A and B are shown apart, each in its own frame.
Chain A
Amino acid sequence: MIAHAIFFYVFSVIAVVSAIMVTVSKNTVHSVFFLILDFISISCLFIMIGAEFLGMIMLIVYVGAVAVLFLFVVMMLNVAQQKNQWFVSKDSSRHIPIGLLISVIIFFELIIVIGGWKYKPDLFNSTKSSLENGVSNTHSLGQVLYTDYIHVFQISGMILLIAMIGAIVLTFRQREGVKKQSYLKQISRERTEGVEVLEVASNKGVKIDD
């Protein structure tokens, strides 16, 4: 139990600290790395409460895809200039009231959500959910996904295939005149093709075709 608590506090502290670091670090690339760290520690927290499927999906989707995409975007676009304009230059103060307003709204929304939960404890009753004991999340998800929803599951596979075909159709370009090395051609060259012995007449020279 103590080990559980220790792990919980370690991951929570890492999550909170890296979340803060995402916003305060000067370098945007560092921000993205902190974001990845944040996602990883949150997925560890998910795994600790027994939601291992959610944790793994979080790891694959957010860390593996979304955060890496962010990283690419940050590295390719010139974010530093935009940032200077927004946060360092003189008219940056224009953004502060709006930011404050949005923060206050989100804060009150959180209070309403958590307050509702506090005063209406049967809002979400975990004993009601149909998870059997001893069956993991992944297992029970698989049980419905591949039986009741197999049809929809297959169609989503087709949708992903079409998305892939579409991306290739719209962006793939066949380049003309690209010089490629062909090992077979190089190895199978023979002396007779490569070398030609000519009788050079004096005062005339030879014409070598290139």
Chain B
Amino acid sequence: MENLQLVLPEIFLSLSIMFLLILGVFKKNSSRLVQSLSLAVLIVTAVITFNETIGINETKLFNNSIIIDYLSSLMKIITLLAAFLVLTISSNYLKTFQIFKIEYPILILSSVLGMMVMINSNDLIVFYMGLELQSLALYVLATFNRDEIKSSEAGLKYFVLSALSSGLLLYGCSLIYGFSGSTNFNVIADQLNSNEYVLTFGIVFILVGLAFKISAVPFHMWAPDVYEGSPTSVTLFFTMVPKIAALTVFIRFLYVPFLNLIDQWQMILIFLSIASMLFGAIAAIGQTNLKRLVAYSSIGHVGYALAGVAAGTNDGIQSSVIYITIYILMNLGLFSCLLMLKRDNNYYEKIDDLSGLSKNHPMLALSLLIILFSLAGIPPLAGFFAKFYVFKAVIEQSMYFLAIVGLLSTVVAAFYYLRLIKIMYFDEQKEKYDTDHGFWLKFSLTASTLLILIYFIFPSQLIEVVSRINII
């Protein structure tokens, strides 16, 4: 195999997982060491991905079952960096709950491996294997604080519902295999002419499975409970990292084998998008728990990202990749703030706990203000541009209804973001929170806030990176 260096990132990551596991088992009290090594592994994998694969033309390996192109390399790098940031800021939280074990970074690494396989996949079997590898690690992560009843509940709920959606997804795969005779995306694309209406059933089932994984309405029921019950650092991982891989699969799956059936899947995608945007905006209003609120807001944001995919053009895909990148940045900032709400080894996650934050912690409140404004999509912050690109791509395809609903739900969503700001700045102040946070927590909050703030000065950088994505 002459192109083996193209899968070097995956090979390196899997070998590191096994090495770290053995190291952690044989060396006592090595949680901190394994944690630092995992961070190094993530960075090295990102560098290898960047060096080996970012510049090359589209290449297919292993009997055409995996594809290495610009989209997959870019998404892999984003995934790796996001996982790196999550891992850096989670260690203090884990220590507080005494669940700082060697398995935590190892499970995160293996779920990242699963996502990389998903991103690479050009075949239904490979895609499914990646999905299972990723979700198996996520089930365990959700239950990681196993002495806490809510965490166990979250893991169990996620496991049962996710198994159900995997079943639907596999049913769709088998239908597609039955009618096209292959699991390979390109072969399916060639076989499309004769049986196209039957294939639609397969597409619908697979879309249901995928929509479940990125918690798009109406397959979102698990998200608020799981996000609330899991340890906060795992919630952060859930809201950021798996969405990147799932979005890539959405793009690859719809645009490679089923581009000719766009009339049939476009309606489904528009529905998913509109429902997620509206539901995410309206259901978040009544929440009192910040993690639940984040869950509903992430449902809404997934809706916007899907709107870009629904447009059916390269611009649309690029806009949704930009959207998900900026969304990750904003979420990172938001969760850094959440992880800073700590007093006497207790983490506070109610909305009321924010009240009067500006008097005690003006800088923290200011950062949170910027992040919330950006999430609400107020110019000139990064969140506004993310929404702007998506709506531009959508309107270019004359899908005005989708754009109008998107804008309206932005207005509704602005209400609950602004309510948080009002509570922070105008409500009665409470006791002070701890201020002795780790370096990485401060770093990620500062960096994400600054990037959100100054994005409008150089928007062309990100656009340039993304504009090389060329699927159609």
Contact = CB atoms under 8 A, between A and B. Distances in A.
Which one of B7, B21, B101, B137 has the greatest number of beta carbons of chain A within 10 Å?
B137
A162 B143 CA distance: 14
Interface string B144-159: 1010000000000000
B62 A169 contact: no
A186 B113 CA distance: 48
B133 A158 contact: yes
Contacts of B133: 155, 158-159, 162
A148 B62 contact: yes
Contacts of A168: 103
B126 interface: yes
A126 B184 CA distance: 26
Interface in B1-34: 7, 14, 17-18, 21
A165 B107 contact: yes
B62 A150 contact: yes
Interface residues of A, number: 18
A156 interface: yes
Contact of B63 (A148, A158, A161, A169): A148
B125 interface: yes
Contacts of A154: 14
A208 interface: no
Contact of B125 (A150, A152, A159): A152
B110 interface: yes
Nearest to A171: B146
A166 B137 CA distance: 7
Contacts, number: 63
Is chain B's binding surface mostly helix, strand, loop or mixed? helix
A166 B133 CA distance: 12
A155 B140 contact: no
Nearest to A165: B103
Contacts of A150: 62
A170 interface: yes
Contact of A152 (B14, B65, B103, B136): B65
A158 B140 contact: no
B242 interface: no
A169 B126 contact: no
A82 B311 CA distance: 57
B269 interface: no
Contacts of A155: 117, 126, 129-130, 133
B58 to A, nearest CB: 18
Contact of A169 (B17, B61, B101, B113): B101
Which one of A149, A155, A158, A163 has the greatest number of beta carbons of chain B within 10 Å?
A158
A157 to B, nearest CB: 9
B65 A151 contact: yes
Interface in B86-142: 101, 103, 106-107, 110, 113, 117, 125-126, 129-130, 132-133, 136-137, 139-140
B136 A166 contact: yes
Interface in A163-192: 163, 165-166, 168-170
A29 B417 CA distance: 62
B139 A166 contact: yes
A162 B136 contact: yes
A163 B103 CA distance: 12
B246 interface: no
A168 B21 CA distance: 12
B66 A151 contact: yes
Contacts of A165: 21, 103, 106-107, 110, 140
A190 to B, nearest CB: 28
Given A148-B63, A169-B107, A163 B126 contact: no
B126 A151 contact: yes
Contacts of A169: 101, 103, 107, 140, 144, 146
A162 B129 contact: no
Contacts of A161: 17-18, 21, 110
A159 B107 contact: no
Contacts of B106: 165
Interface of B: 7, 14, 17-18, 21, 61-63, 65-66, 101, 103, 106-107, 110, 113, 117, 125-126, 129-130, 132-133, 136-137, 139-140, 143-144, 146
User: What 9 A-B pairs come out closest when comparing CB atoms?
Assistant: A166-B140, A151-B62, A155-B129, A148-B63, A169-B103, A162-B136, A159-B133, A162-B110, A162-B137
